A and B are shown apart, each in its own frame.
Chain A
Amino acid sequence: MTAQAVDFALAAALTYVVVLFGVAYLGDQRARRGHFGWLRSSLVYTLSISVYCTSWTFYGAVGSAARGGLAFATIYLGPTLVFVGWWLLLRKLVRIGRTQHITSIADLISSRFGKSEALGALVTLIAVAAATPYIALQLKAVTTSYQVIAGLPLDDLDVRVGFWVAVGMAAFTILFGTRNVDANERHHGVVAAIALEALVKLFALLAVGAFVVFGLWDSPADLFAAAPPGFLTSEEVFGPRWVTLIVLSAAAIICLPRQFQVIVVENENERHLATASWLFPTYLLLSCVFILPIAITGLTLMPEGADPDMFVLTIPLMADADWLALLVFLGGFSSATSMVIVSSIALSTMVSNHIVAPLALRLSRDRTRTSGDVRSLLLSSRRAAIATILFFGFLYFQGSGQSDALASIGLIAFVGVAQFLPSVIGGLYWPLANKRGALWGLCGGFVVWVYALALPSLGADGPLGAAVLRDGLFGIAALRPQALLGLEGWDPLVHATFWSLGLNVLLFVVGSLSREPKPLEWLQASRFVDVFRGGADAGERPQFQRPATSEDLFILAQRILGAEPARDLFDAFARRQGIAKGLPRPTQDLIGDLERRLAGSVGAASARAMVAQIAGGEVVSIDELVSIADETARIMRTSQALERKSAELEVTARRLREANDQLREMDRQKDDFLSQVSHEVRTPMTAIRSFAEILRYTETLDSDQARRFVAIIHDECIRLTRLLDDILDLRVVEQGEIPITMDTIDPDAVLDRTLEACEGLSGDVPVRAERLGRATGAKVRADPDRLRQVFINLLSNAVRHNDKEQVVITVTSWEREGVYEAIIEDNGPGVPDESRERIFSLFSASWTRAAGKGAGLGLAISKGIMHRMGGDLTLEPSRDESEEGGEGGARFRVTLPAVVPVGDTSERMPGLPVG
Chain B
Amino acid sequence: MPTRLLIAEDEPSILESLVFILTREGYDIATARNGEDALGRLRDPLGPPGLLILDVMLPRVNGFEVLRAVRHDPALTRLPVLMLTAKGQAHDRQMAEQMGADAFIAKPFSNQDVVRQARRLAAP
Contacts and interface: CB of A to CB of B under 8 A. Distances in A.
Contact of A683 (B14, B20, B112): B14
A698 B17 CA distance: 13
B11 A683 contact: yes
Contacts of B57: 679, 845, 849
A668 to B, nearest CB: 15
A15 interface: no
What is the interface residue range for chain A against chain B? 20 to 34
Contact of B89 (A675, A687, A712): A675
Contact of B108 (A682, A698, A715): A682
Contact of A852 (B11, B18, B108, B110): B11
Interface in B71-124: 86-89, 107-112
Given A678-B86, A679-B57, A850-B59, A693 B111 contact: yes
B86 A682 contact: yes
B10 interface: yes
Interface in A682-702: 682-691, 693-694, 697-698
Nearest to A846: B59
B107 A683 contact: yes
Interface string B8-45: 00111110111011001000000000000000000000
B11 A685 contact: no
Contacts of A716: 13
Given A679-B57, A683-B14, A712-B13, A689 B21 contact: no
Contacts of A688: 108
Interface string A834-874: 00000000000110011010000000000000000000000
A689 B108 contact: yes
Given A687-B17, A690-B17, A693-B111, A682 B87 contact: yes
Q: Of A683, A686, A712, which is in contact with the most chain B CB atoms at under 10 Å from its CB?
A: A686
Contacts of A693: 110-112
A679 B56 CA distance: 11
Contacts of B87: 682
A686 B107 contact: yes
Nearest to B109: A686
Contacts of A850: 59
A846 B59 CA distance: 6
Given A675-B89, A679-B86, A850-B59, A694 B13 contact: no
Contact of A678 (B11, B12, B21, B88): B88
A179 to B, nearest CB: 94
Contact of A687 (B13, B59, B88): B13
A675 B92 CA distance: 12
Nearest to B106: A682
A689 to B, nearest CB: 4
A711 to B, nearest CB: 10
Interface string B48-62: 000000000101000
Contacts of B20: 694
Q: Of B13, B16, B57, B112, which is in contact with the most chain A CB atoms at under 10 Å from its CB?
A: B13
Given A693-B111, A694-B20, A686 B59 contact: no
B17 A691 contact: yes
Contacts of B112: 693
A694 B108 contact: no
B110 A689 contact: yes
B112 to A, nearest CB: 8
Nearest to A852: B12
A690 B11 contact: no
Contacts of B14: 683, 686-687, 690
A690 B110 CA distance: 6
A845 B59 CA distance: 9
A42 B10 CA distance: 107
B11 A687 contact: yes
A708 to B, nearest CB: 9
Interface in A384-401: none
A468 B7 CA distance: 139
A835 to B, nearest CB: 11
A682 B85 CA distance: 11
B116 to A, nearest CB: 13
Contact of B111 (A683, A684, A690): A690
Nearest to B107: A686
Nearest to B62: A846
Contacts of A686: 11, 14, 107-109
Given A675-B89, A687-B14, A690-B18, A682 B111 contact: no
A709 B59 CA distance: 25
Contacts of A846: 59
A389 B63 CA distance: 118
Q: Of A685, A690, A712, A716, which is in contact with the most chain B CB atoms at under 10 Å from its CB?
A: A690
B95 to A, nearest CB: 14
Contacts of A687: 11, 13-14, 17
B55 to A, nearest CB: 10
A697 B14 CA distance: 17
Q: Of B12, B107, B109, which is in contact with the most chain A CB atoms at under 10 Å from its CB?
A: B107
Contacts of A683: 11, 14, 107
7 contacts: A682-B87, A688-B108, A690-B14, A690-B17, A690-B18, A852-B10, A852-B11
User: What are the 8 closest A-B residue pairs judged by CB atoms, nearest first?
Assistant: A687-B13, A690-B17, A686-B108, A686-B107, A689-B108, A693-B111, A685-B108, A712-B13
Given A683-B14, A687-B14, A688-B108, 17 more contacts: A682-B86, A685-B108, A686-B11, A686-B107, A686-B108, A686-B109, A689-B110, A690-B14, A690-B109, A691-B17, A693-B110, A694-B17, A694-B20, A709-B17, A716-B13, A852-B11, A852-B12
